[in-house]
Structure 1
Amino acid sequence: MKLTPLHTCVSFIALSSAFLVSPALAQDAAQAESAEAAPESVGLDAIVVTASGRDKTQLNSSVSVSSISAETIQSLKPSSEAEVFRTIPGIQVAGTSGPGGNSNIAVRGLPVATGGSPFVQIQEDGLPTVLFGDIQFGNNDYWTRFDSSVANIEGVRGGSATTFASQAPGAVINYISHTGKQEGGFVSVGKGLGYDETRVDFRYGGSINDTTYFHVGGYFKNGRGPLHADYTVSDSIQVKGNLTKEFDGGKGFFRLNFKYADTQEPNYTGAPALATISGKNVGNIRPYPGFDGRDSSNYSIYNQDFLIYNRDGNLERVKMDGITTNAKAFGGQLHYEFDGGITVDNNARYTKMSGGFASPFLNTAPTSSVLGSTVNGKTVAAIRYASGLKAGELFTDAYLDNNVNVRTNIRDIGSFANDLTLAGKYEFGAGKVTARAGVFYMNQKIAMDWHVNKSLRELSGENPSQLDLFDSAGNKLTQAGTSGYNNNWGNCCARDYDLSYANTAPYISLDLDHDMFGVDGSVRFERVKASGYAIAGGSEFNIVSNGVTIPTITSNGVREQLNYTRSYTSYTFGGLFKVSPNVSIFARTSRGGRFNGDRQTLGGKIRDDGALCTSGDIGSNGCTADGITPSVDFVKQHELGIKSRGDLLGGRFTMELTLLKGSFKQSTFELSATKCPGGAGGCVIDAKYKSSGAEFFGTYRNGGFSLVGNATYSKAKKQGAGAANFVRADGIPDLIYTVSANYDIGEMATVGMAVTGQTSAIDSNGFQYPGKAIFNPSLRIYPIKNLELGLQVYNLFDTFDLRGNGGIADAAANPVVIGGAPALGRTFSGSVRYNF
């Protein structure tokens, strides 16, 4: 994608407009903006529209739900989509994977066994962007980008997420778009200060006539990013819009939606660090000399493209361009209220989508572990720089990066989705009964080919060189630092597949709403039809690459032809007591299932005829394991909550507190050696987990002061050596929190401070890493009417916050060498915004 000239033009026009267009009232524009974008402005009176019946306020809903306005999210200056999710209570994510995505998104202490977000669904305007949250190399945070088209984000945890959405027993996160019913918009230009990054955000909506209105918004982004890559790693555009026509006196509306996205963003894979270890406690963590993960990465001009052995049997040079997406979506929404209390809603969307994943994974290893080892049948006697100013010189550093160069071609991840609901409301004594019936259908395509090269590079945060290996006779054993094509984790991961999953889910609910209480229950009947093929890697063979013999694997091994259907049921029951007009108490119990999609393939769980293996098939029909039981993972949850609002110290507050208890099992394929026994890639992990805790969400407003905060406390455990032995789960801190405060200084300026942090977490080997807080201040000034100048700081105190899972690289060294994923360091950005 070549957008640099376009970005330059847009930046110039936007900046010029900001200073030259005749100004209007800045505060009026800000109020118009917030009227549509800030549901917390009406607090618990906001109608819940996500994974619900769409006719109850937050206060009177017996589910845990929070609505976060676009303005609140923007004040946090999130560095990635994962940091957006941290604003939602119950969602637990490190937020260090970068703007491209690939985060592990846990919910309510229910950990992620391998990767992605298996129990969390991300939606745009009520429909999932992808059906499964943990598609291998296709996590759901690749395909959604927060931008100015979004009015607010609603997060429903547990409860009705189980039955009003498929594959989402943990939570639904819904990006809700502006519609233009409230006229207005803005153009904003943001620039990195001290690093190369430009972002232009825009939106505008308004009426065409009395019954028709529209909205369009999006962003452009280009640059090398805050980790100072020496080539362009961000090059993105996204535009979303809708057109709404109301009819029959406001009884109904029809809305057309569209989205175009062509994005390229880096995926951060961590950095080395130094630390002190006492027992199992890791402390005094600080940057590794020459590689400070707060402001540098292993993206390198000497590795900005590399060779893969492609699915056509040829060597192909591909870009190291992070996570790329290309999406074209078109859909429509219909709502109509018939006489007699009958309402029909239909939401449909077709999405053509593809992309790619290219990243230099990082792992710190002693150089001594390579010297003297056997590589490609020869003993390694020397290591030399393969590129850069030192090309050809001996490499003598104590540590190197021995992880993979990976490229995954996501040929097709498109879908068609439709959700149809019919509801009827009837008087029942002193209350009202609402009955709903609906059917959801989604056909999800997943077509990919994987290329994981064995690779060696210098351990440096400034354009690391690839490293070549030589034997004692001076024979070269690698080519441009690559010692194998598609074989880094063995034949598990040179795979090629073209899969299709058709999910049909009828659902019904019954709701009784009384002046003093409410009770409800709903059931969802899932049926998923799997088809297509998956091919594993075959036997290793040699090819010649620029005169060097390199071992290679390609997808010509075991072939599975999928042809099976799996059905299961999810349910939830809840009750709410209306203590007063400002206080309600609720309780809920739920059991939700999620289908194990592409991670079920090539694990010996599918018969030769395409059916799922039974326990009786093991040892025949191509079966090595039961496929039926692990094809669906179930989550059980119990909740007890209170919601309240009222006056406090001259201002108004809202508060939601939910006590939690849950458990789940998960069977999933792990592609890397990170968690596989013995360090071998390609294993199936079967695990059981349980968790208890609480989540909190609160707001407070007093004059020009506003505060929004959330916290999630959980005791997450996984099954240990015995059936009754549960130990602390890795990667989940006991407490994770986000707080955002703003103060309006009259009509002149707004001062803000956002804090995001967590307590300690352990890695997969039980080592505990301290948790820290990051402070992000901001300042917005209104020098003239309708013009806003902004200054934002991320990580004010430049805290070295190792949020991601760590790992001990060399415990014998002093100080100890570790690896992990730190949050971004102190980063400044400026912005100019014109409201209209």
Structure 2
Amino acid sequence: MTTQTKPFFYKNKLTVAISTAIMGLSINAYAADEEAKPDDNAFEQIVVTGSVGGRTQIESAIAVTSIDDEVIQNFKPNSEVELFRLIPGIQANGGNGPGGNANIAVRGLPVATGGSPFVQIQEDGLPTVLFGDMQFGNNDYWTRFDASTARVESVRGGTATTFASQAPGAIINYISHTGEVEGGYVGLSTGIGYDEKRVDFRYGGSASDSVLYHVGGYMKTGRGPLDDGFNTSESMQVKANITKYLEDDESYVRFYLKVADTQEPFYTGSLAYANISGNKISNVRPYPGMDGRSASNFSTLNQSFLIVNNEGGVERVNMSGITTEALALGNEVHYVLEHDIVVDNKMRWTDMSGGFTEPFHGPGVTANVIGSTVNGAVVDQIRYANGPMAGELYEQPYIDTNTNVFTNISDVGSFVNDLTISKEFNLDGSILNARVGYFYMNQKIAMDWHTNRNFREAGSSNPAQLDLFDAAGNQLTANGLAGFNDNWGDCCARDYDLEYTNTAPYVALELELDEFILDGSVRRDTVDASGYTVQSSGNAFDTIIDGVAIPTLLPDGKEEYPDYSESYTSYTFGGLYKFNEDTSFFARASKGNRFNSDRQTVSGKINPDGSLTQAGRVAAVDEVNQYEVGVKNRGEMGEADYTVEFTLLKGDFTQSNYEPTSTPACPNGGCILDNEYRTTGFEFYGTMRWSALSVIANATYTDAEQKPNGGTWGPANDIPELTYAITSQYEFSQEISVGLNMSGQYGNRNGAGVETENKPIFGGNIAYRPTNNLEFAIIGQNLTDEFALRGLSGVVDASNNVISAQPVLGRNLSASVKLLF
């Protein structure tokens, strides 16, 4: 247990939340006495994610939340991780930009390395990628919310451990429109005061009495709210499906198509001023010359850069952020056989690739570079390499020494299939639902990394490249370039082509006994690893660029050929008590697992014969234990209908993993992280509808702790104690509606234990519909233009109160027109 003393308010958060839930129950009981009925639709959504099937939300003994598309559109998330702030239990700092690369935690289970190790993103019930934390391939790269999505459904804990592989923390499932309701729309939106254009569209309906179809997507172009100086957004996605119902009107066959070609920026932070008092940072404000609310580290003076490819040739690549290309073909069959045996099969083949090209932000003190040794010589001067001040001395106090990185994601394609057979048995006074299933997924991970040492201006909204010189005037860098493929040492001139095959039989039983529902499920995963990885030998050679000798590394060294298999068992058991038709209680215990894939390589964990070393076997699988108790309640409060979901949480896990890049837990990269983690807390989700007003709120509180190998327990890194989001919408009339939203977090610490001040962010929207088929709208984010942080890289210069941080976007507005039909 942590020894830190917390204020009274923190100690009593759980008490306040429990009291609120109990008050809700009391109000509902009173309403029931008055024979008042809640909203018929409240909690009546059929759960399709992590469920045996056929259960509504209030009858499901799991923590499950469904967010419909209209709520998401009014919130206007600028990235997938901002969308996830609407989901309780999901903890993501955000601010990374539309490209992705966010660290997505859940229920206090932190992200020690990067990505989303415990959260799986699905589209229509199947994972887009098997592993959420692939190096330079996080799962939020590959999914985009657009008009084709009807709702986003999330299950935290519980059956996420047994109804999916590699998802012990949560499943987030993007569920498509399928054409049940005839119609659609075309919408055009544009940034107000910034360059961004987007077209959204969808249409669906019936082609015959037994055939439904839907097609939707978007196209987007521009520089975005952070003016990158050139177009960093060039994206399109189209998703379509067609459904044929069979003669019994229950069975159907559905086909899916997805085509995506996206290019979006990933923001890595900016300089800022702050008041620094011990381990607390407050009064954060913009740094002169680079306001992180409106500027990024992208620059017209760094739109492209040179790399040395695996064959030793010099190439020029564009600074294009995170790019993806995907073609996916899917099929779903729901077939009702005799004796009410139901067969469900979902399949998807995906051809997918992309790239990660970024100017990482890593500022330091300029005086620390002067006098240091770079490429065998002592630095005496720094001069602008390009831009309006090219050739002049660089005399600014801070300098960005982080990498220009290009990762060629040549293949992250996959084939996945999930087959289930289920049947309902009517027993004496009870109902037994049984399901057996078999999951198969083959995931490819093929990449080559190019991490160049680089020097650029810090504290500028359009940073120039910088060149270094020794005392004799000899140039040590070429247009800011100091080394090819060597920014993180000889670990990371890397080339690999890996393949992982995950098979998993599973079984689930659910017994309904009057007011009680009991369920349990077990899953047995086996993952086979194969392929190769090549790292650098460390033998550098010079590549001549503009007459300057640039040290170069290639992936020409130690080879690894993983050839091993790991099997493990996950389970969950729980029960639900239906107090009445409007209130239910549930409790659950779960043990889930996730397999460490490409992060096992180049870390000393694979033997020459491809088997795992002892350390590799220990680190191969992370086990996650979770316990939860929850209540779901709906009713009336005066003239308002409401719903409340409240869940108490407890969890723990142990993780051993390799982190090559710079993260809060591994500031210099190249770390093997062996930590234990534990967490307690709660998650809350509530809705209210009163006449023309609707409100949705969620909050997650966790007391998350970590203990390094051989260390003591202390606060976990980059896990906010409290995250929250509130959205509201008011319909003044059939023509005019107005919405307001607020989101924020509190109690976030970086890897050095520095706690940042956090502020709420307010957004809003207003819509005018002169006719039923035409809508004009304005949507705004950060309306008060707060300089609020979602993440802290670190303190750059404590004596001058300078930090490196990741602020949310400043005030930005967009206008749209939508034609409905």
| TM-score, normalising length: structure 2 | 0.94
Is 1:704 aligned to 2:692, yes or no?
Answer: yes
Q: How far, CA to CA, are the matches of 1:550 and 1:806 in structure 2?
A: 29
Q: How far, CA to CA, are the matches of 2:622 and 2:202 in structure 1?
A: 41
Question: Could you tell me which residue of structure 2 aligns to residue 488 of structure 1?
Answer: 487
The residue type equivalent to 2:799 in the other structure is A
The residue type equivalent to 2:706 in the other structure is K
Is 1:754 aligned to 2:741, yes or no?
Answer: yes
Residue 514 of structure 2 aligns to a residue whose secondary structure is coil
Q: How far, CA to CA, are the matches of 1:631 and 1:596 in structure 2?
A: 5
Q: Is the 8 A contact 1:797 1:826 kept in 2?
A: yes
Question: Could you tell me which residue of structure 1 aligns to residue 635 of structure 2?
Answer: 646
Distance 1:493 1:41, change over 3 A: farther
Q: How far, CA to CA, are the matches of 2:514 and 2:206 in structure 1?
A: 38
Q: What pairs up with 1:564-603 in 2 under 5 angstroms?
A: 564-603=564-603
Q: How far, CA to CA, are the matches of 1:163 and 1:372 in structure 2?
A: 57
Residue 460 of structure 1 deviates from its aligned partner by 3.4
Q: Is the 8 A contact 1:489 1:672 kept in 2?
A: yes
Q: State the Cα deviation string for residues 603-643 of structure 1 (Å, max 9, x = none).
A: 111111111112xxxxxxxxxxx111110001100000000
Which of 728, 740, 750 is the aligned partner of 2:727? Answer: 740
Residue 546 of structure 1 deviates from its aligned partner by 2.0
Which of 799, 813, 816 is the aligned partner of 1:828? Answer: 813
Q: State the Cα deviation string for residues 205-231 of structure 1 (Å, max 9, x = none).
A: 010000001000000000011101111
Is 1:662 aligned to 2:669, yes or no?
Answer: no
Residue 561 of structure 2 aligns to a residue whose secondary structure is strand
Is 1:799 aligned to 2:798, yes or no?
Answer: no
Q: State the Cα deviation string for residues 704-752 of structure 1 (Å, max 9, x = none).
A: 11111111011010015756x3111121111101110000011121100
The residue type equivalent to 1:661 in the other structure is K
Q: How far, CA to CA, are the matches of 1:748 and 1:181 in structure 2?
A: 26
Question: Could you tell me which residue of structure 1 aligns to residue 385 of structure 2?
Answer: 386
Q: Is the 8 A contact 2:664 2:750 kept in 1?
A: no
Q: How far, CA to CA, are the matches of 1:680 and 1:151 in structure 2?
A: 42
Q: What pairs up with 1:267-416 in 2 under 5 angstroms?
A: 267-416=266-415
Is 1:633 aligned to 2:627, yes or no?
Answer: no
Question: Could you tell me which residue of structure 2 aligns to residue 452 of structure 1?
Answer: 451
Residue 686 of structure 1 deviates from its aligned partner by 1.1
Residue 676 of structure 1 deviates from its aligned partner by 6.6
Is 1:552 aligned to 2:552, yes or no?
Answer: yes
Residue 72 of structure 1 aligns to a residue whose secondary structure is helix
Question: Could you tell me which residue of structure 2 aligns to residue 201 of structure 1?
Answer: 200
Range that drifts further, 541-550 or 165-174 = 541-550
Residue 297 of structure 2 aligns to a residue whose secondary structure is coil
Range that drifts further, 216-225 or 542-551 = 542-551
Q: Is the 8 A contact 2:674 2:708 kept in 1?
A: no
Question: Could you tell me which residue of structure 2 aligns to residue 225 of structure 1?
Answer: 224
Residue 464 of structure 1 aligns to a residue whose secondary structure is coil
Q: How far, CA to CA, are the matches of 1:392 and 1:770 in structure 2?
A: 40
Question: Could you tell me which residue of structure 2 aligns to residue 683 of structure 1?
Answer: 671
Residue 680 of structure 1 deviates from its aligned partner by 4.4
The residue type equivalent to 1:605 in the other structure is K
Please, which runs of 5 or more residues in structure 1 have no aligned partner? Answer: 1-39, 615-625
Distance 1:720 1:684, change over 3 A: closer
Q: How far, CA to CA, are the matches of 2:526 and 2:708 in structure 1?
A: 33
Q: Is the 8 A contact 1:298 1:460 kept in 2?
A: no
Question: Could you tell me which residue of structure 1 aligns to residue 501 of structure 2?
Answer: 502
Q: Is the 8 A contact 1:293 1:461 kept in 2?
A: no
Q: What pairs up with 1:50-65 in 2 under 5 angstroms?
A: 50-65=49-64
Is 1:718 aligned to 2:706, yes or no?
Answer: yes
Q: Is the 8 A contact 2:274 2:283 kept in 1?
A: yes
Residue 770 of structure 2 aligns to a residue whose secondary structure is coil
Residue 388 of structure 1 deviates from its aligned partner by 0.7
Give the aligned length.
Answer: 782
Residue 667 of structure 1 deviates from its aligned partner by 1.6
Residue 278 of structure 1 deviates from its aligned partner by 1.4
Q: How far, CA to CA, are the matches of 2:202 and 2:265 in structure 1?
A: 25
Residue 806 of structure 1 aligns to a residue whose secondary structure is strand
Please, which runs of 5 or more residues in structure 2 have no aligned partner? Answer: 1-38
Q: Is the 8 A contact 1:404 1:454 kept in 2?
A: yes
- Counting aligned pairs with the same residue, the percent is 53
Q: State the Cα deviation string for residues 544-589 of structure 1 (Å, max 9, x = none).
A: 1221101111111111001111000000000111100110000000
Q: Is the 8 A contact 1:434 1:510 kept in 2?
A: yes
Is 1:812 aligned to 2:811, yes or no?
Answer: no
Range that drifts further, 668-677 or 84-93 = 668-677
Question: Could you tell me which residue of structure 2 aligns to residue 618 of structure 1?
Answer: none
Q: What pairs up with 1:155-304 in 2 under 5 angstroms?
A: 155-304=154-303
Q: How far, CA to CA, are the matches of 2:157 and 2:363 in structure 1?
A: 39
Question: Could you tell me which residue of structure 2 aligns to residue 10 of structure 1?
Answer: none
Q: How far, CA to CA, are the matches of 1:764 and 1:756 in structure 2?
A: 24
Q: State the Cα deviation string for residues 157-199 of structure 1 (Å, max 9, x = none).
A: 0000000000000000000000001111011101000000001
Q: How far, CA to CA, are the matches of 2:153 and 2:804 in structure 1?
A: 35
Residue 337 of structure 1 deviates from its aligned partner by 1.4
Q: How far, CA to CA, are the matches of 1:668 and 1:74 in structure 2?
A: 37
Q: How far, CA to CA, are the matches of 1:721 and 1:275 in structure 2?
A: 33
Q: How far, CA to CA, are the matches of 2:665 and 2:210 in structure 1?
A: 59
Residue 43 of structure 1 aligns to a residue whose secondary structure is coil
Alpha-carbon RMSD? 1.1
Q: Is the 8 A contact 2:151 2:176 kept in 1?
A: yes
Q: How far, CA to CA, are the matches of 2:122 and 2:522 in structure 1?
A: 21
Q: How far, CA to CA, are the matches of 2:628 and 2:162 in structure 1?
A: 16
Q: How far, CA to CA, are the matches of 1:145 and 1:80 in structure 2?
A: 8
Q: Is the 8 A contact 1:492 1:681 kept in 2?
A: no
Residue 810 of structure 1 deviates from its aligned partner by 0.7
Residue 681 of structure 1 deviates from its aligned partner by 2.9
Residue 340 of structure 1 aligns to a residue whose secondary structure is helix
Residue 669 of structure 1 deviates from its aligned partner by 1.4
Q: How far, CA to CA, are the matches of 1:559 and 1:766 in structure 2?
A: 37
Q: How far, CA to CA, are the matches of 1:785 and 1:583 in structure 2?
A: 38
The residue type equivalent to 2:651 in the other structure is G
Residue 671 of structure 1 deviates from its aligned partner by 1.1
The residue type equivalent to 1:819 in the other structure is S
Residue 141 of structure 1 aligns to a residue whose secondary structure is helix
Displaced runs of 4 or more, over 3 A: 673-677, 720-723
Residue 689 of structure 1 deviates from its aligned partner by 0.5
Question: Could you tell me which residue of structure 2 aligns to residue 20 of structure 1?
Answer: none
Q: Is the 8 A contact 2:676 2:709 kept in 1?
A: no
Q: Is the 8 A contact 1:162 1:169 kept in 2?
A: yes
Distance 1:442 1:721, change over 3 A: closer
Q: How far, CA to CA, are the matches of 2:668 and 2:795 in structure 1?
A: 18
Question: Could you tell me which residue of structure 2 aligns to residue 543 of structure 1?
Answer: 543
The residue type equivalent to 1:501 in the other structure is Y
Question: Could you tell me which residue of structure 2 aligns to residue 29 of structure 1?
Answer: none
Q: How far, CA to CA, are the matches of 1:436 and 1:784 in structure 2?
A: 49
Question: Could you tell me which residue of structure 2 aligns to residue 15 of structure 1?
Answer: none
Residue 434 of structure 1 aligns to a residue whose secondary structure is strand
The residue type equivalent to 1:706 in the other structure is S
